[in-house]
Amino acid sequence: MSGSDLEVDGHRIALTHLDRVLYPDGTRKYDVIAYYLAIADAMLPHLASRPVTRKRWPTGTEAAPFFEKTLPAGTPDWVPRFTIAHSEGEKSYPVAASSAVLVWFAQVSALELHVPQWRIDLSAGHEERRTDRLVLDLDPGPDVPLTQCGQVALTIRDVLTDAGLPSWPVTSGGKGIHVYAQLPWPVSADSARKVAKQIAVSLEKAFPRDVTASMSKAARPGRVFIDWSQNSASKTTLSPYSLRGLAQPWVAAPRDWSELSDPDLAQLRYSEVLERFSQSGDLLGGTSATAAAPAADLPEGVVDLGVYRRRRAAPMLAVDQPIDALDNDTWAFEGKWDGYRVLATVRESRLRLHSRSGNDLTDDFPELAPLAHAVPGGDMVLDGEVVALDADGQTDFGLLASRRRRAEGARLEFFVFDVLELNGRDLTGAPWEQRRQILEELRPSLAGLPNVRIPDLLPGPGARAVTRARDMGWEGVVAKRRSAPYRLGTRSPDWRKQKNWNDVEVVIGGFRLGRDGANRTLGSVLVGLPAETGLRYVGRVGTGWTQAQAADLLAELRTLTISRSPFLAVDAPVASSATWVLPKLVVDVQFMNWTSTGHLRHPSWRGIRRDKLPGDVDPAGSPSRAP
């Protein structure tokens, strides 16, 4: 497979050396090309209208790379370009306006694609570099694990939320994490840099042992450096979904905020990113909502930068923000369920089901086929969640994910909570309150379907809705602004979600070191609940503490080490790298709920209970919360 021609977006690209191994693990140029083609729908919006600086490895990542800014000789004339004046003269940069450009990048072994935060703006009066997003690059110092970066990122999220800015995390594919924030309107690059620096400096003052905003490398050991400077007009950042030119084909991968609390948080390979995109779509979708420069304003010699963006129907998403203080007049409250987000489209009595990433799920859920005839002669688009219910009527994602492997099956239902179109009328521009009224009018037609339900709203205000959802054992609450339209494919603060969390007192029976194996780095603690002859293992806790707290805890645990496990049973992969300790310390842990195997889901450290002994701990954790 030495080479061939590939036609992409109407352009024929000559491909050579497709079998050339670019990564030590055997990843070839062919694989890189296939990855960029498969991820193009997610990647291109984040490269939109931004000049691309490339980092190339022509003979593979084990050799030295080189940065490339200007377009090389032989660049196809159909590649869009943008000229920037530098002190040494003008330079023409490529702009990734199509899948074809991504394939051309891969053909020349441009593995890393770096872009500024500002967009090319060719409209009159806007010659300065302007941006509608900012980025904070969290770079861990020596011996600082990725999980510590995750904790800093979560703190930054809270700061941005308080400022009214939605934000998204991206594991960088290297050592750290990028946090992106969406600005309400474009600002100058200098203004964005100042805001980013203010956030970094304020966190350094609040957490001097864990965070630094200083450029000095001497300040970084043991700390996370928050690099605010990448918002400068002259700086670039690795674009989301770009590969890294490292030992493995890791990717700058958008993540869900809940993942940053995982004690096993790690960088993702390109194959993992493709699988996640097929299941969940672009988790970073909200940062690409601003349109590119209008085509009419593009001068001669610059290819239209706005024509490539494919508008694909994708559901509106909620941001993670507290809702306790929201009032009932401005906001409506719905339950949050753990299932598959689905858009159901009925056209001429034919039903199609699509996931949030656009995958066709129609054949996966034949139980919903009667929805095609629920409203006689009525075409419609409904938004909702496909869930599986357990014997108690609670949604259970585990049942949904494994229902094909279970002989007894699972009770499946489609919870409908929005209507986007009805009888040819586009309702996305209507306020939520009007759409809800129309949905209520559909209730009699949908009520006769065995697997379709319109869940009732939760009573407000926010605090009451949260309490009710917690009492019902639901995953959480979604608050929706009553006056807000439906914004397809965006994650908007007009929708806010808050998950329910519980507290439990557990006993530490062991610990594991961080992934880097450093003796002074605590990875996680193994916890359990008292039983007659030992501890019943309930999971690992590896987030929620500061680096200083983790160091103090590890020092204390080392004084309690014993040779045998105090647990009745522990999963073999966990036990293989565990150090056992005398079950003496009682600790308080926050968690979402119990898994079907009796483990804590998404546990987070809260602190040691010095006032309690293991004998004081409830063996069931809590009568109302135990599995």
Indicate which residues carry an active-site annotation: 336
Identify the three-state secondary structure at position 575: helix
Residue 110 to residues 96, 106, 245, 497: CA-CA distances in angstroms?
Answer: 12, 5, 9, 39
The counts of H helices and E strands in the chain are: 10, 34
Per-position DSSP letters for 228-275, written without gaps between them: -GGGSTT--EEPTT-B--SSS-EE-EE--GGGGG-TT---EEHHHHHH
Angle 416-492-544 from CA coordinates, rounded to 5°? 100
Residue 586, strand partner residues? 507
Contacts of 517 by beta carbon, 8 Å cutoff, 6+ apart: none
Per-position DSSP letters for 113-163, written without gaps between them: EEE-SSBP--STT--S-EEEEEEEEEEE-TT--HHHHHHHHHHHHHHHHHT
Q: Please count the other Cβ atoms lying within 10 Å of the Cβ belonging to residue 408.
A: 5
Amino acid (1-letter code) at residue 456: D
Q: Please count the other Cβ atoms lying within 10 Å of the Cβ belonging to residue 2.
A: 9
> CA-CA distance, 282 to 267, in Å (whole number)?
17
The tokens describing 11, both together, are 């352009």
Are 492 and 484 in contact, with CB atoms under 8 Å apart?
yes
Instruction: Provide the 8-state DSSP code for 493.
Output: E
Q: Please count the other Cβ atoms lying within 10 Å of the Cβ belonging to residue 199.
A: 23
Residue 333, strand partner residues? 458, 479
> CA-CA distance, 420 to 371, in Å (whole number)?
15
> CA-CA distance, 132 to 355, in Å (whole number)?
28
Identify the three-state secondary structure at position 93: strand
> CA-CA distance, 70 to 74, in Å (whole number)?
12
Amino acid (1-letter code) at residue 130: R
Are 337 and 416 in contact, with CB atoms under 8 Å apart?
no
Instruction: Provide the 8-state DSSP code for 287.
Output: G
Closest CA to 118 of 237, 225, 200: 237
Q: Where are the alpha helices (DSSP H) in 511-592?
A: 547-558, 572-575
- Residue pointed to by tokens 């300790």: 581
Residue 274 to residues 40, 146, 418: CA-CA distances in angstroms?
Answer: 11, 22, 29
Cis ω for the linkage preceding 461 (within 30 of 0): yes
Half-sphere CA count of 486, side-chain side, radius 13 A = 22
Amino acid (1-letter code) at residue 275: E
Identify the three-state secondary structure at position 623: coil
- Residue pointed to by tokens 């800093």: 152
DSSP H or E segment with residue 405: none
Q: Is 16 exposed, middle or buried (0-12, 13-18, 19+ CB in 10 A)?
A: exposed
